[in-house]
Structure 1
């Protein structure tokens, strides 16, 4: 849905000092009102201050040449009683010569904003004579190292106590220039972050930070330069500091300190390291006050984990402040993933530091959806899944909230299902899908692997099979939402993709792309599994064509799927290898042959796509000899799966097969181990020691669907599948949200009398479809006081 600005025009500054990373402050004053509404669109990121206080940040990210408009409504309780209101907007426009970025499009800077009162009178707007002026914010350095291989630059500020006076209208102001670019403005559906303060829980130590002279770059710093060689060539040596930080080591503090409401520090012989620890990971802006006696260099390091040895090691997620003597209230511009914070103070003078807080920049969960059982371990897994998804979700589904913050496909397929189950919200998904449907001129009509984002070759889709996962999510979204209008408006873009996909069918009848594909972070991703023909991904193509053909009534798509299904099933029957052979295939001398290199990830994807479901031997081997903790010895000739994304596909398949006891055992095996790390979130890979990756929210959705029995609420036909599986539990309860209100369920299981007593409350107009799992054969099922057959 298009957003119409009443008066505002998109603007930006002129004659700016930096070509690539530009930071502007925009300002206007308006007469006080009891209520005002501010509409803002920006690239890359903005922050809104009202009378010096942050009240919003954004924007909701969107497709190239489009901007989503954030609408912020402020009332008297937020607006002070002065006669004038100061409105300041800080905008960062990020760019790199490589044009490689995952969290934004790296387009040129833009701001469009207008302020209106309750009578729709425009009080200020960007554009000619609208009242907004700008100045370039020179306090932040623009030519420094990147936060990661696929994000923008670290924050480095050179500040005096007066540096932020611009938010009160001080400084030299210029008239911005209206942009000639044609930009389409779209409505934001996704929720806004609360920015509620979260006080970091504990002061946990103070140390001297001694330079060992032996820094080790580490993974993230190493690949940052590898992916951005042109950018790193242009960084002055004096602007490089991340590697040096990694050489610092904790030693006994040689200064003096006092901890009370504030922390008072007299530095010792070396720079001082002050460490804070929170109970679990949170995401937001680090907000703190500090008073310094002498010139200070402050490095603020955040992380969600310690090393194996228990050390808080520096990384690339650093904010550097060069501070003149005085008092400061500081706040990072970038959201940070925080369980641990280290303030490294390079100074000879006295420092007074307040306890820091985090301004919450994650999905504002209102707690209306819940799940609990008599098994505390399952409850911990559910809460871990919920936290992981919440921190990875706001305006888009981010694969992770710090390293990339990108909207990756495949991740989103599972995050979207979890979002509906755990939060009862499809607004983020609707915006996310629309972003992809707005993409143009991609190779063969495919979709980019991650969006918003940027590549030098704008036609490159990256992993081509991520487009297949987008189609799975697209069809799932329709089942969840019943949004036929969006499906119809997307038809032309979907047809473009399907035509391109079918053009890749070779003489052998299957899809052969010659480009990057993905199955699982394991041997399933080696060339011998994927090239030249990936059988697992061809199975997913069949599944996608079948569903899209049914959705749009396209018989030829269904026919193509059936032709491919016959080819794949014939391969299975003629391979001579149990289970149909390996993941990859080759076509030579008119014959299509599978190799003999199978993987658990590939097997999971084939089953997920609807293959082998009637083959009892195949399914038995998959269930009992594969996964993270198989019941029987694993076949050493089948490569193990990793968590992303092979195990998550496996979990989904076990759920479809009603193998709930196996599913629960494996969820506990994987996630309880990760919860020992203490961050309260779930990781990208089975062997990771840190991370927060949103696709793991699916674990919570599966528990709710398979244990409690509450399937996805389907808005399309106002139904919910109720299919509980007690798995030895005494009780379970939970709530889900739909458009008409809450769905509430609670059951008690008597394993001696074999009776399941259920209370299930549905909103008006909704109905339940009950299915009995094999586990409940012979049980009495009582729903709302009546025996249910």
Structure 2
């Protein structure tokens, strides 16, 4: 596979001496750029790669969050135009870099490093590892407390800080008296161009303060103690409860909030009395990096807790997360920019121990750039317009450097989700830049640690030390690769995936039973978030339906008639063995006394898999299709129809349903189902959800797929036909 490799001119990867493998260590790399040193008319560019992430600050102000994520041993290089930000006589440029060194779904567990340089044309103005006056100077970020709990099972560590006078001075003061730390050359890998658009980081602010109140404190019999806190082990890394220097989940758990009073106050300046709190409304779900100015009257703690919804009161633990940013303060003024993006519609500010005033609270919107989206809503239906807006925001929040499932709990690059999001990128932009990078990440490593030979990770870039994988999601990778070729014509890229896809087929071959059906699949067999996931052994017919589509896709991709013939035979076997006298497909068969026996269980989602994977068509099975078309859908439960058929959930049953309505030209039903499934989501959070209820993620990337159907319904137009949306972003 031809790689678009990046070469730094002078920079070397470096890190603080002795801490490249330390959990949750943050180091800020800073340099001065005098205005007088800048060549006239030259663009000043910064290029940077890192493990794991950085925030770029110029003169103390946020510029960007990066870099784009990549595969094990490979690192994408972000490039930024610094020219507009270099306005002071001496400009302070800093990359505050977080090295987590824990396994997660959001960042790879690789040794910490930063490799960065600033250039003007051919001239290098500053570079890490330069070893001279042009080097970046490193400062240990002692303000960030290192021994804290994980944010979630899927992500790394929460952010907790102790700020004292002079905090972060080294990031804004060119003449700082802060003492630097020693650095050493660090382990890195191969560098690649980003080759994707950059977030444009527009500034968003809360609309208003909606409720204020007071709080007391009391010990509780128990505190939030989900698996990311209680299950730290030799294969799930983090700090154990007894090792924590700060346990913000317990600190927040000790707070007793009163009911408060409704208000409608401006949110530009928020004075909090000692032990007072205020709830703020962003107006809709947004994703971004927080920045705020803080004035503390004494010693105390400011807590930022947040969530996408409010159920009576704000619950930062609703999704299995610690949605908490904890900021300890003493008397003085401070400015803080968070290290990572978060998601919220509602934010609670709580001042413990002293009066605290928060000014200029702002969220830098981390999202796919609106300037690269060329599709616009062209309909007249207000509800559909709101759904369109919610879907666009959902896409943008989940498509930054990879396709993510959600930008909150996980920030993970899940297969299957990506199949749906990839279609949306093409609809909105006319390109597939993020998809190519996403798919490429799965092709770069020679192998995946902890997984069987041939198997693909269920999400990536990520580490799976517990050896969990989803065999179905690996199938979706192949199915998406087939659509990618259709979308882009990029034959060279799909050819580069051949070896990996054939290795995947080789993994599945030993699971084929005497009928050619996959039986006894290992690890987490996933059909959808419903009863379907309980009906996956010994033979899951939905899984085999998808396997048939994978075989057919690979056969068509690579001109392999043996695979297409095998797929046709498997489809016939599935139809023969799983169709019941009721006219519905049975979900699974059990091995009893050496024979396969149907379980008798039937789910709505299995019927959709059958049509989606071409086991049947409306022409071959008109009764089943007409029944699904007219008697199933968002209102089936209220009509009391077919209660013996377990209902589908949003992911992915309802999406397969709508995709089939689209495929078979059922335009009126598709239009009605879109409004029925999504209007209440758009109205509540301004984003689209993981499930039909708001008990999990309320901003899930695959849900933006509604835009694909809207396009087919003629509800979208392109305002700039043929606009080039190639990667360029800040450069």
> TM-score, length-normalised on structure 2?
0.90
State how far apart, in whole Å, the 2-side matches of 1:296 and 1:557 are: 66
2:79 aligned with 1:71, yes or no?
yes
Give distance in 2, aligned partners of 1:13 and 1:185.
Answer: 21
The reply on whether 1:638 has 2:633 as its aligned counterpart is no
Tell me the equivalent position of 2:465. Answer: 456
Deviation, structure 1 residue 504: 2.8
Q: Which runs of 5+ in 2 are unaligned?
A: 726-731
Change in CA separation of 1:591 and 1:701 when aligned onto 2, cut-off 3 Å: same
CA offsets, 1:13-62, max 9 Å, x none? 22339831111111223433442111100011111222332222201011
Q: How does 1:416-495 map to 2 (within 5 A)?
A: 416-439=422-445, 440-441=447-448, 442-457=451-466, 460=467, 462-495=469-502
**Cα pair 1:258 1:265 within 8 Å, conserved:** no
CA distance in structure 1 between the aligned counterparts of 2:548 and 2:670, rounded to whole angstroms = 26
The equivalent residue for 1:570 is: 576
Is the deviation greater in 257-266 or in 427-436?
257-266
Change in Cα spacing, 1:662 to 1:72, as seen in structure 2 (3 Å) is same
Q: Which residue does 1:272 correspond to in 2?
A: 276
Q: 1:500 to 1:17 in 2, by over 3 A?
A: closer
Residue in structure 2 matched with residue 395 of structure 1 by the alignment: 401
State the secondary structure of the residue aligned to 2:82. Answer: strand
Unpaired segments ≥5 residues, structure 1: 709-731, 743-789
* Equivalent in the alignment of 1:108: 111
Separation of aligned partners in 2, 1:632 and 1:656: 26
User: Kindly tell me: are residues 468 and 175 of structure 1, through their superposed partners in 2, closer, same or farther at Cα, counting changes over 3 Å?
Assistant: same
Is 1:610 matched up with 2:603? Answer: no
Structure 1 residues 53-96: Cα deviation after superposition (integer angstroms, max 9, x where no partner)? 22222010111111011011222x321152x4332111101133
- CA deviations 1:497-524 (Å, max 9, x no partner) are 2222334322331122233211111110
Task: Report the CA distance between 1:590 and its aligned residue.
Answer: 6.3
Q: Answer yes or no: is 1:12 the counterpart of 2:15.
A: yes
Change (3 A) 1:123 1:235: farther
Residues 263, 85 of structure 1: CA spacing in aligned structure 2 closer, same or farther, 3 A cutoff? closer
1:734 aligns with 2:712: no
- Contact 2:343/2:408 (8 A) holds in 1: yes
- The two structures, once aligned, show a CA RMSD in angstroms of 2.6
Give the match for residue 158 of structure 2. 154
Which range moved further: 137-146 or 122-131? 122-131
- Counterpart contact for 1:263–1:355, Cα < 8 Å: no
Query: What secondary structure does 1:628 align onto?
Result: coil
Matches within 5 A, 1:660-671: 660-671=667-678
Contact 2:272–2:278, Cα closer than 8 Å, also in 1: no
Counting only pairs closer than 5 Å after superposition, residues 235-384 of structure 1 correspond to structure 2 as 235-236=242-243, 239-251=246-258, 262-267=269-274, 271-307=275-311, 309=312, 311-315=313-317, 316-348=322-354, 350-366=355-371, 367-384=373-390
Shift of residue 128, structure 1, vs aligned partner: 4.7
Displacement of 1:225 in angstroms is: 2.5
Confirm or deny: 8 A CA contact 2:308 2:698 kept in the other structure.
yes
**TM-score relative to the length of structure 1:** 0.83
- Quick one: distance in 1 between partners of 2:309 and 2:723? 41
SS in 2 for 1:444: coil
Task: Give the structure 2 partner of residue 61 of structure 1.
Answer: 69
d(CA) in 2 for partners of 1:576 and 1:192?
51
Structure 1 distance, partners of 2:634, 2:260, is 44
Q: Which moved more, 1:625-634 or 1:487-496?
A: 625-634
1:40 matched to which residue of 2? 48
Match of 1:725 in 2: none
Instruction: State how far apart, in whole Å, the 2-side matches of 1:156 and 1:589 are.
Output: 58
Who is 1:586 aligned against? 590
Q: Which deviations, in whole Å up to 9, do the C-alpha atoms of 1:542-568 show, x marking residues without a partner?
A: 111111111111222222212312321
Within 2, Cα distance between the matches of 1:583 and 1:607?
14
Distance 1:543 1:498, change over 3 A: same
Q: What is the aligned length?
A: 695
* Contact 2:217 2:256 (C-alpha < 8 Å) held by counterparts: yes
Q: Which residue of 1 aligns with 2:506?
A: 499
Give CA deviations for 1:587-642 in whole Å, capped at 9, x if unaligned.
Answer: 55665443211111111112111111121112122222322224975222211101
Matched, 1:600 2:608: no
Q: What residue in structure 2 maps to residue 691 of structure 1?
A: 698
Q: Which residue of 2 aligns with 1:714?
A: none
For residue 211 of structure 1, report the CA deviation from its aligned partner.
3.1
Counterpart CA distance in 2 for 1:238 and 1:333 is 19
Query: 1:281-312 deviations in whole A, cap 9, x for unaligned?
Result: 111112211212211211111211101x3x22
Q: Structure 2: how far apart are the matches of 1:180 and 1:337? A: 32
Preserved CA contact (<8 Å) 1:215 1:247: no
Match of 2:524 among 506, 516, 527: 516
C-alpha distance in structure 2 between counterparts of 1:180 and 1:285, whole Å:
28
In structure 2, the residue corresponding to 1:620 is in which secondary structure? Answer: helix
Instruction: Give the 3-state SS of the residue equivalent to 2:384 in structure 1.
Output: helix
**Could you tell me how far apart the structure 1 residues matched to 2:242 and 2:532 are?**
39
- Partner SS state of residue 226, structure 2: helix
Partner of 2:728: none
Partner of 2:184: 177
Cα 1:9–1:18 shift into 2, 3 Å: closer
Q: Is the 8 A contact 2:209 2:265 kept in 1?
A: no
Judged with a 3 Å threshold, the aligned counterparts in structure 2 of structure 1 residues 20 and 738 are, in CA distance, closer, same or farther, namely: farther
